[in-house]
């Protein structure tokens, strides 16, 4: 109980810090920008860590994360194409990229009568590489837009939100949160599946259907996230581990804790990205820079 | 009454047929042993019997109802399956694992009900793992882990328990404990079907045996009828010697060794 209280207090502190800390004075316009940043940070950090927890549980593999299954890279590819064509991030294209790659991975892993779960991971990793190469080509072709693609690849919470995109972004956030809440019902199935698919099947879980629901739902969630804030790495991989270290293996706690810890982590990382240099660093750079030493410390302790 | 029945079922992995037209009935409240050499299709048969695998042709009936028409959850309320070995990717405590046996009775978003907790406690008692219940499962020995998995299956409150080589890799004491536990459960009315590699344990505990060979049922009957030098030689391709168990009047199987004369010199 005290641990729960502690992570909630830290989470609230991160929100307050995200709004109050920064080089510019607190005027109403700055305040508004920072509040949006915090909203995006909570949303992106929470959803990515939640998906990481979901996928690590589903595949019983601690190295799986949204990137492993190709959906994040697919979203980044779609968004890069959008930058090349329209000169700005286009959520619809990012979204399409995520689902398109997800579907391709699914087709590769499909066999008569179902999917091969191991092949799903392998196909996802391979597709991630393919997407990265294509993004590189776009960067070379783009020239002037290179800078924007770079930020997209490393993640950026400072997306300007105005009348043109506000409704859509709010809609994406609401849909994501509702979907995540619905997926939370699978915490028991995720606990059981850690003992192997045969055991899960013998306890009455339809493994094929369950795997597909989770795979496509997380592709959807990741697509929506990347389309707004870019491909922020590391959060989805590491936060579920931290959550398990703190709260043990039960997904009833871990899914919720991953969301809160992921949001907290990304808020602090974003705050650092805005303050440690005179330039604003992509937040994905900071998540890795700060996250790796912290993670090593936690595991060595 | 017939508890579980396979009717002319076939199953292949890729193009290799591993179950070839098997019709087999497991009677209610019996203690059945399924034996046979490696690759005979024993484990596959067990998985077909509880719906983990679906037959290519033929069907499996559970108390007269075809498995194909039932949800996995409904099947899991009646049949529990204990695999040969369980890998625990996450380090749950023993009582968490046993409680997962209640999954077929639980609703999404629902809490663990009093009856779930009660069934878990009873299963932990029955399996004799009360002193282990708070322990993380990966800190246990393989014999202890096997009893945890068995407790999970008991918590499932099934009418039929299927086990795939539950005593392989276990030492004598743990073999004995597992088999005695199964024997007790069977005496209280649970139907038990066990795939066994250990012919002597099968002979001691199972009242009826089925011999699988090349994906077919080779023969079935009591241990006394089946564990003969002739049948075992046919199926395993090895020469054996049979003697009676000193305490119980059942056959026990020994290998015939070529090197015995040299040893005496």
Q: For A159-216, write each residue's pLDDT tens digit.
A: 777 777 788 889 989 999 999 999 999 999 999 999 998 999 999 999 889 988 998 8
**Is residue B199 within 8 Å of B221, Cβ to Cβ?**
no
| pLDDT value of residue B265 | 43
Q: How far is CA B15 from the centre of its chain?
A: 27
User: Is the CB of residue A185 less than 8 Å away from at least one CB of chain B?
Assistant: yes
Q: Which residue of A has its CA nearest to B97?
A: A192
B 220-249 near A (Cβ less than 8 A) = none
The pTM assigned to this predicted structure is: 0.90
Q: Which residues of chain A have pLDDT under 50?
A: none
As a whole number of angstroms, the distance between CA A185 and CA B49 comes to 29
Higher pLDDT among residues A119 and B188, named by residue: B188
Q: What percent of chain B has pLDDT over 70?
A: 97
Q: What is the ipTM of this complex?
A: 0.90
Structure tokens at B46: 């067990």
Residue in B43, B72, B78 to test binding to A, most A beta-carbons within 10 Å:
B72
Report whether pLDDT(B73) > 90.
yes
Q: Return the bridge partners of B211, or none.
A: B35, B219
Q: How do residues B4-56 score in pLDDT, each as one tens digit?
A: 999 999 999 888 999 999 999 999 999 999 999 998 999 999 999 999 999 99
Beta bridge partners of residue B244, listed in sequence order: B251
Residue by residue, DSSP assigns A75-138 as HHHHHHHHHHHHSS--HHHHHHHHHHHHHHHHHHHEETTEE-HHHHHHHHHHHHHHHHHHHHHH
Say whether residue B40 is in contact with chain A using an 8 A CB cutoff.
Answer: no
Task: Indicate whether B261 pLDDT > 60.
Answer: no
**Alpha-carbon distance B202 to B252, whole Å?**
9
Nearest Cα to Cα of residue A286 among A301, A299, A271: A271
Domain coordinates in residue numbering, chain B: 2-226
Q: Which residues contact A166 (CB under 8 A, 6 or more apart)?
A: none
Answer yes or no: do B50 and A204 touch at CB < 8 A.
no
- CA of B105 to nearest chain A CA: how many angstroms apart? 10
Fold of B2-226: Rossmann fold (3.40.50)
* pLDDT attached to residue A52: 94
- A2-300: CATH class: mainly alpha
How far is Cα B36 from Cα B198, in angstroms, rounded to an integer?
10
* pLDDT for residue B264: 46
DSSP B113: P
Do residues A229 and A282 make contact, with C-beta atoms less than 8 angstroms apart? no
Task: Write down the domain spans for chain A.
Answer: 2-300
Residue reference for tokens 């299963």: B123
């Amino acid at each position: 109980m005290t641990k729960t209280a502690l992570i909630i207090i830290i989470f609230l502190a991160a929100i307050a810090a995200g709004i109050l800390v920064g080089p510019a004075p607190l005027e109403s316009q700055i305040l508004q920008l920072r509040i949006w940043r915090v909203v995006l940070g909570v949303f992106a950090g929470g959803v990515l860590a939640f998906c990481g927890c979901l996928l690590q549980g589903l595949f019983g593999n601690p190295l799986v994360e949204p990137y492993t299954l190709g959906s994040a890279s697919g979203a980044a590819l779609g968004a890069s194409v959008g930058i090349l064509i329209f000169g700005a991030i286009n959520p619809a294209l990012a979204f399409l990229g995520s689902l398109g790659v997800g579907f391709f991975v699914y087709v590769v892993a499909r066999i008569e009568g179902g999917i091969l779960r191991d092949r799903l991971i392998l196909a996802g990793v391979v597709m991630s590489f393919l997407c990265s190469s294509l993004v590189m080509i776009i960067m070379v072709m783009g020239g002037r837009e290179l800078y924007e693609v770079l930020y997209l690849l490393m993640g950026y919470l400072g997306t300007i939100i105005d009348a043109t995109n506000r409704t859509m972004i709010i809609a994406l956030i609401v849909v994501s949160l509702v979907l995540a809440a619905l997926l939370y019902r699978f915490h028991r199935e995720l606990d059981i599946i850690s003992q192997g698919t045969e055991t899960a099947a013998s306890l009455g879980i339809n493994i094929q259907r369950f795997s597909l629901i989770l795979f496509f739902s997380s592709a959807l969630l990741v697509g929506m996230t990347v389309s707004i804030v870019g491909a922020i790495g590391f959060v989805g991989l590491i936060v579920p581990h931290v959550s398990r270290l703190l709260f043990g293996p039960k997904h009833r706690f871990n899914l919720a804790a991953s969301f809160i810890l992921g949001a907290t982590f990304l808020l602090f990382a974003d705050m650092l990205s805005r303050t440690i240099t005179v330039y604003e660093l992509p937040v994905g750079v900071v998540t890795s820079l700060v996250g790796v030493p912290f993670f090593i410390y936690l595991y060595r302790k | 009454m017939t508890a579980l029945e396979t009717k002319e079922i076939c199953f292949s992995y890729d193009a290799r047929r591993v179950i070839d037209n098997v019709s087999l009935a497991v009677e209610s409240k019996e203690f059945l042993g399924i034996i046979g050499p490696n690759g005979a299709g024993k484990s596959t048969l067990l998985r077909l019997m509880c719906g983990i695998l679906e037959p290519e042709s033929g069907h499996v009936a559970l108390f007269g109802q075809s498995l194909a028409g039932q949800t996995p959850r409904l099947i899991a309320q009646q049949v529990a399956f204990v695999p040969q070995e369980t890998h625990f990717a996450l380090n749950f405590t023993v009582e968490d694992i046993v409680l997962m046996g209640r999954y077929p009775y639980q609703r999404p978003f629902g809490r663990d009900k009093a009856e779930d907790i009660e069934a878990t406690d009873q299963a932990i008692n029955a399996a004799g793992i009360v002193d282990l219940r708070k322990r993380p499962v990966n800190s246990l020995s393989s014999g202890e882990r096997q009893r945890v998995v068995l407790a999970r299956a008991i918590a499932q409150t099934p009418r039929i328990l299927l086990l795939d080589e539950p005593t392989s890799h276990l030492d004598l004491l743990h073999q004995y404990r597992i088999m005695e536990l199964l024997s007790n459960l069977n005496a209280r009315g649970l139907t038990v079907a066990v795939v066994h590699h250990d012919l002597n344990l099968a002979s001691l505990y199972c009242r009826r045996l089925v011999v699988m060979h090349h994906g077919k049922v080779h023969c079935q009957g009591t241990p006394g009828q089946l564990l003969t030098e002739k049948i075992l030689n046919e199926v395993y391709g090895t020469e054996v010697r049979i003697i009676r168990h000193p305490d119980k009047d059942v056959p026990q199987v020994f290998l015939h060794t070529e090197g015995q004369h040299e040893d005496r010199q």
